[in-house]
């Protein structure tokens, strides 16, 4: 049985969901961001119980086709931005999403905007800015290196986009004693 799980955004999420399912004596065949394949076929009552137990950990079983599609879109974007080296890729997100999900981008864009009240493009920018915040906090790269790593054309372009989203320049953000990072499932 394949389950779609909302809020699985990183390897730790995969580990947490897998461990939780195994603790409940389910056999996991395969697990990826947003998807779990288990051996067992769950009855409606078992699915409701599992859904409740996962919600305590911050996850949600998705039964609605539209929500599954939105979660697929988000997972492709998160994987690309947070788990790839964008400096080596020329990414056309419309082609990437259409190819992964096997649906026309216009359809994906419309469904995403209607459901999330945000465009896919804005979601991509928000994800990139969260990644930039993370890289700024690590203090291992300067702004030019970060802009190159994140696939921006220049540090000026990154700075302008960063300020538009956060209200702060990257330098002011870095100087703040506390950060305003968001967890990926809250974007």
pLDDT digits (tens, 9 = 90+) for 80-92: 998 887 777 678 9
Residue 39 and residue 94: Cα distance in Å, rounded?
Answer: 34
**Residue 26 confidence class, pLDDT cut points 50, 70, 90:** very high
What pLDDT score does 182 carry? 74
In terms of pLDDT, which residue wins out, 185 or 33? 33
108 pLDDT above the threshold of 60: yes
Report pTM. 0.78
- DSSP class of residue 87? G
Find the mean pLDDT for residues 147-163: 94
* 3-state secondary structure (DSSP) of residue 46: helix
Domain 64-187 has CATH 3.40.50.300: no
Domain ranges of the chain: 2-63, 64-187
156 pLDDT above the threshold of 80: yes
Find the mean pLDDT for residues 33-46: 94
Retrieve residue 137's tokens: 């906090």
What pLDDT score does 101 carry? 96
Cβ–Cβ < 8 Å for 28, 45: no
Angle between helices 120-138 and 65-82 (to 10 degrees): 40
What pLDDT score does 9 carry? 86
**Residue 178 confidence class, pLDDT cut points 50, 70, 90:** low
| Residue that is written with structure tokens 């999403």 in the block | 97
Cβ–Cβ < 8 Å for 149, 86: yes
- DSSP class of residue 62? E
| Residue that is written with structure tokens 């399912």 in the block | 21
**Thinking of the domain 2-63, which architecture would CATH place it in?**
2-Layer Sandwich (3.30)
* 3-state secondary structure (DSSP) of residue 166: helix
Residue 79 and residue 177: Cα distance in Å, rounded?
Answer: 29
Give residue-wise pLDDT tens across range 114-142. Answer: 999 999 999 999 999 999 999 998 888 99
Question: In CATH terms, are 2-63 and 64-187 the same topology?
Answer: no
In terms of pLDDT, which residue wins out, 89 or 37? 37
Q: How is the beta sheet containing 28-32 ordered, strand by strand? A: 28-32, 35-38, 2-6, 60-62
Share of residues in the chain with pLDDT > 70 (%): 95
**Residue 177 confidence class, pLDDT cut points 50, 70, 90:** low
Q: Please calculate the CA angle 169-172-175 and round it to the nearest 5 degrees.
A: 150
What pLDDT score does 91 carry? 82
Mean of the per-residue pLDDT values of the chain: 91
Find the mean pLDDT for residues 50-66: 93
């Amino acid at each position: 049985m394949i389950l779609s799980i909302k809020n699985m955004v990183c390897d730790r999420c995969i580990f947490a969901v897998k461990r939780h399912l195994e603790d409940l004596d389910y056999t996991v065949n395969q697990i990826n961001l947003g998807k779990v394949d288990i051996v067992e076929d769950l009855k409606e009552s078992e699915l409701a119980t599992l859904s409740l137990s996962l919600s305590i950990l911050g996850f949600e079983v998705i039964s609605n086709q539209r929500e599954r599609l939105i979660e697929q879109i988000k997972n492709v974007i998160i994987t690309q931005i947070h788990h790839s080296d964008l400096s080596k890729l020329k990414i056309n997100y419309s082609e990437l999403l259409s190819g992964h999900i096997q649906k026309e981008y216009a359809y994906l864009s419309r469904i995403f905007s209607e459901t999330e009240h945000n465009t896919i493009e804005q979601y991509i920018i928000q994800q990139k800015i969260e990644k930039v915040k993370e890289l700024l906090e690590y203090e291992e790269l300067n702004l030019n290196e970060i802009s190159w790593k994140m696939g921006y054309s220049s540090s000026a372009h990154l700075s302008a986009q960063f300020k538009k989203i956060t209200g702060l320049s990257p330098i002011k953000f870095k100087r703040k004693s506390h950060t305003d990072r968001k967890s990926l499932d809250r974007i």
